[in-house]
């Protein structure tokens, strides 16, 4: 199908969410974008609402800057970086470059690497210097009916047999699996994952693929902990009623866990992890915090000599994440709890912010 043929059924205007600043996101009518010769156009099928979307919405300094850092997020952009969509237009060369066809469903990695900076040249594209990202900086995201896939975007085909909201979970799942890769999990390890939200459940599923000695999940919700078991946790601990540090030490002859993956974004989870790890253990941080976190760094150094590792995005994990989704082994209907129309985007954002609510993965289906 040619570009002209593909565009015959595409409307001239579309509905999209536009960022005008913290807590000022508006639904607007825009011109439907026309792809350049090296771009694709997708009809958005689903876009997940991420905790980072919420923190950006509320004006966290990481996104909008403070006295110590400049603003990174941009006004005038459409948010949404966890998305899948159907390819509806693109030149033959653009389609060939992405190895896709008109009608394919694709998901895109959230970063659009420049290809020229030191990190990109060294193959470390997920740490790209300019760090352009869908929905935050330089490129419109997918809280819209249609979205452009730029030439440098990294696209992956996803089965059309999956419900759209399940397919869009490829983004958080790939992120969670990267955290697992950073943890360097071994067969004999006791691995603790803090948080049974979208990232935490993905990390549990990813750790299960590594088949360590014991997978332990922590959360405040019994319902989420039950879901954690369905994703692969051997042991669950409700930290509202049980001391996680004491329980983990009891499970490990008093030594502590080998690996701790933090996926809550709550400051208290940081100190918790440092305290329940054994000496020479590994701490992996995968969260976006709304404010700075203070801990006793002597635990990391003098007390335990811990390996503390950050994890960012989901590099090289997308094929594995998509394969896991397509396998049907994850309880996706229970993970993808809420779907909203594009016009109800504010309800979706508010629900993600309701930490006492029953939602896990909230999605918008344009």
pLDDT digits (tens, 9 = 90+) for 105-130: 999 999 999 999 999 999 999 999 99
Residue pLDDT, tens place only, 175-204? 999 999 999 999 999 999 999 999 999 999
Q: Is pLDDT at 215 greater than 90 in this prediction? A: yes
Mean pLDDT value across the chain: 94
d(CA 278, CA 363): 38
Instruction: Give the lowest-confidence range in 17-31, 160-174, 209-223, 349-363.
Output: 349-363
Using alpha carbons, list the distances in angstroms from residue 50 to 81, 177, 275, 288: 8, 16, 28, 10
Fold of the CATH domain 3-169+336-364: Quinone Oxidoreductase; Chain A, domain 1 (3.90.180)
Q: What percent of the chain has pLDDT over 90?
A: 90
Rounded to 5 degrees, φ, ψ at 4 are -60, -45
More confident residue, 215 or 358: 215
Per-residue model confidence as pLDDT tens digits over 45-94:
999 999 899 999 999 888 998 888 899 899 999 999 999 999 999 999 99
Beta bridge partners of 261: 193, 284
pLDDT at 290: 72
- The answer to whether residue 292 scores a pLDDT higher than 90 is no
pLDDT of residue 301: 96
Into which CATH architecture does domain 178-310 fall? 3-Layer(aba) Sandwich (3.40)
pLDDT at 171 over 90: yes
pLDDT category, 356, cuts 50, 70, 90?
low
Residues of the chain with CATH 3.90.180.10: 3-169+336-364
Which residues have CB under 8 Å from 156's CB, separation 6+?
106, 107, 108, 109, 170, 318, 319, 322
Instruction: Tokens 């229970």: give the residue.
Output: 334
Q: What is the pLDDT of residues 217-242, one digit of tens each?
A: 999 999 999 999 999 999 999 999 99
Q: Is the pLDDT of residue 4 over 80?
A: no
């Amino acid at each position: 199908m040619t570009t002209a043929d593909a565009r015959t059924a595409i409307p001239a205007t579309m509905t999209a969410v536009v960022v005008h600043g913290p807590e000022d996101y508006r639904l607007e009518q825009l011109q439907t974008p026309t792809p350049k010769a090296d771009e694709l156009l997708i009809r958005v099928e689903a876009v997940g609402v991420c905790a980072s979307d919420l923190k950006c919405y509320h004006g966290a300094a990481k996104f909008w800057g403070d006295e110590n850092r400049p603003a990174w997020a941009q006004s005038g952009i459409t948010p949404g970086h966890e998305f899948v969509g159907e390819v509806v237009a693109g030149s033959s060369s653009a389609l060939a470059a992405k190895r896709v066809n008109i009608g394919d469903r694709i998901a895109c990695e959230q970063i659009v690497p420049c290809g020229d900076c030191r990190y990109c040249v060294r193959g470390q594209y997920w740490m790209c210097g300019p760090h352009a990202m869908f929905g935050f900086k330089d490129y419109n995201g997918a809280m819209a009916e249609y979205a452009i896939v730029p030439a440098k975007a990294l696209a992956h085909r996803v089965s059309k047999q999956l419900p759209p909201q399940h397919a869009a979970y490829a983004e958080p799942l790939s992120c969670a699996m990267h955290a697992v890769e950073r943890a360097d999990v071994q067969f004999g390890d006791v691995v603790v994952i803090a948080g049974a939200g979208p990232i935490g459940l993905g990390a549990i599923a990813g750790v299960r693929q590594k088949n360590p000695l014991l997978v332990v999940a922590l959360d405040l919700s019994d319902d989420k902990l039950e879901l954690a078991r369905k994703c692969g946790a051997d042991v669950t601990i409700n930290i509202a009623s049980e001391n996680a540090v004491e329980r983990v030490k009891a499970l490990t002859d008093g030594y502590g866990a080998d690996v701790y993956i933090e996926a809550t974004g709550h400051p208290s989870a940081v100190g918790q992890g440092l305290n329940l790890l054994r000496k020479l253990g590994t701490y992996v941080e995968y969260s976006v915090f709304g404010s700075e976190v203070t801990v006793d760094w002597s635990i990391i150094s003098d007390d335990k000599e811990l390996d503390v590792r950050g994890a960012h995005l989901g590099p090289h994990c997308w094929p594995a994440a998509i394969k896991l989704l397509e396998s049907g082994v994850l309880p996706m209907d229970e993970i993808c709890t809420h779907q909203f129309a594009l016009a109800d985007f504010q309800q979706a954002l508010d629900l993600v912010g309701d930490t006492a609510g029953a939602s896990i993965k909230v999605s918008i289906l344009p």
